[in-house]
């Protein structure tokens, strides 16, 4: 199975082989475009699709070389067909369709979210549909925060989603306010290490609901920073010049360079507010839907503190916990190849006339 993933700003190609002795990932290539979009403060769709067009052929070549596979040996071609940016999705889907048509092979259109959702099972032994044990899946990425009850392959029920920002988006925006780099999640995690997560009490929204909301938390941080002497999004300046030149906060001036502990404590407190919400809702959902396995996936699930606390909360409640290796959590094509392989084995196949859908739903 050869798969392409181009739903956003990462171009990725993977080749996954399955035979009687099991599954083997022969190649997984990812080209990131972070630096191309960084200066615009967000993803520029046209730049993303132009770069996919440049990177896709290069990655296909690299993957085929790494896998030592001839094109004719590939049995099926897959691509992410949504959700994502239309102009980005089109590139991967068109390339996969072209290859399928050219080599007379099958084509599979895969939902990006299904790729994430199945990723914790990647590498599990090949034994039919029992690969995918019933679980409550928390999908947490830059674009999505959702809770899904998974009863088996293709049997997904969406039970909660974010009504505003995604968890990863909150990490990215707060990191920006603090003058940290992009993507913000890893930056905040790094600075949170050793910080006091109880020092600042940021809000935990909608705890009683299965849905999520992170925009209130983001706003709370925005209003909190000036109170301690930081101008949000200009905080970077505070590293270069003492802030009392520029700002007078209620608690005086702040210089992160001199008060690294403060930055650590803000990051740890913010991170903990997000983790509390994610863990509380996921465990509550597992209990409510009587599922004894919790899985997490998507970029934010790289966060080691989230993994640790979700694992601990699961075990306190007699629930099993599973997450993918971190390289499989951020966008990649191996998860798309895996989903495609499971679907192909279960008898699914797509038509090359199937269109991409930027708003494709999981369930």
Name the residues that contact ligand KG4, by CB under 6 A. Answer: 141-143, 168, 171-172, 183-186, 189, 298-300, 302-303, 330-331
**CB 184 to ligand KG4: min, Å:** 5
Per the structure block, which two tokens stand in for 145? 């925060």
For position 141 contacting Zn ion by CB under 5 A, the verdict is yes
Name residues contacting Zn ion, limited to 46-85 (CB under 5 A): none
Residue 172 interacts with which of Zn ion, ligand KG4, none, CB < 5 to 8 Å by class: ligand KG4
> How far, in whole angstroms, is CA 328 from its chain's centroid?
9
* Residue number, 182 or 289, with CB nearest to ligand KG4: 182
Closest CA to 3 of 75, 85, 101, 102: 75
* Residue number, 123 or 186, with CB nearest to ligand KG4: 186
**CB 199 to ligand KG4: min, Å:** 19
Instruction: Please give the C-alpha separations between residue 278 and each of 164, 183, 200, 235, in angstroms, as whole numbers.
Output: 15, 20, 18, 28
For position 131 contacting Zn ion by CB under 5 A, the verdict is no
* Residue number, 141 or 271, with CB nearest to Zn ion: 141
Residue 168 interacts with which of Zn ion, ligand KG4, none, CB < 5 to 8 Å by class: ligand KG4
Contact status, residue 29 vs residue 14, Cβ threshold 8 Å: yes
For position 137 contacting Zn ion by CB under 5 A, the verdict is no
Residue 171 interacts with which of Zn ion, ligand KG4, none, CB < 5 to 8 Å by class: ligand KG4
Q: What share of the chain is helix, strand, coil (3-state, %, to 5)?
A: 45, 20, 35
Binding mask 312-351 for Zn ion (x = CB under 5 A): -------------------x--------------------
**CB 297 to ligand KG4: min, Å:** 8
Task: Please confirm whether the linkage preceding 16 is cis (ω < 30° from 0).
Answer: no
Apex CA 247: angle with CA 242 and CA 249, to 5°?
110
The CB-side HSE value for 80 (13 A sphere, CA atoms) comes to: 35
DSSP 8-state class, residue 258? T
Closest CA to 77 of 105, 45, 41: 105
Give the number of residues in contact with Zn ion, rule: CB under 5 A: 2
Name the residues that contact Zn ion, by CB under 5 A: 141, 331
């Amino acid at each position: 199975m050869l798969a392409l993933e181009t739903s956003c700003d990462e171009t990725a190609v993977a080749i996954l082989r399955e035979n009687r002795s099991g599954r083997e990932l022969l190649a997984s290539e990812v080209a990131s475009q972070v630096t191309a979009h960084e200066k615009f403060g967000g993803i520029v769709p046209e730049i993303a699709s132009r770069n996919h067009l440049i990177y896709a052929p290069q990655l296909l070549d690299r993957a085929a070389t790494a896998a030592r596979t001839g094109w004719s040996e590939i049995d099926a071609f897959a691509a992410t067909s949504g959700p994502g940016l239309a102009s980005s999705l089109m590139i991967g889907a068109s390339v996969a369709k072209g290859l399928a048509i050219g080599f007379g092979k099958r084509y599979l259109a895969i939902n990006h979210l299904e790729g994430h959702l199945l990723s914790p099972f990647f590498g599990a032994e090949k034994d039919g549909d029992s690969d995918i044990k019933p679980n409550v899946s928390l999908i947490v990425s830059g674009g999505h925060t959702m809770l899904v009850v998974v009863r088996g392959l293709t049997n997904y029920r969406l039970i909660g989603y974010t009504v505003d920002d995604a968890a990863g988006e909150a990490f990215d925006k707060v990191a920006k306010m603090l003058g940290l780099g992009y993507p913000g999640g890893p930056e905040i995690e790094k600075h949170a290490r050793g910080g006091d997560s109880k020092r600042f009490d940021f809000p935990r929204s909608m705890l009683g609901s299965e849905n999520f909301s992170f925009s209130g938390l983001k706003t709370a941080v925005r209003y909190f920073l000036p109170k301690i002497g930081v101008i949000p999004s200009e905080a970077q300046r505070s590293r270069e010049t003492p802030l009392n030149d520029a700002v007078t906060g209620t608690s005086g001036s702040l210089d992160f360079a001199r008060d690294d502990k403060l930055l650590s404590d803000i990051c740890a407190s913010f991170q903990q507010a997000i983790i509390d919400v994610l863990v509380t809702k996921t465990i509550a959902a597992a209990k409510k839907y009587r599922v004894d396995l919790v899985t997490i996936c998507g970029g934010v699930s790289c966060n080691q503190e989230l993994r640790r606390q979700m694992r601990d909360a699961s075990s306190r409640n007699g629930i099993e916990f599973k997450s993918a290796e971190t390289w499989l959590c951020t966008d990649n094509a191996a998860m798309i190849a895996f989903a495609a392989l499971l679907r192909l084995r279960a008898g699914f196949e797509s038509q090359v006339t199937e269109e991409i859908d930027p708003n494709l739903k999981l369930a």
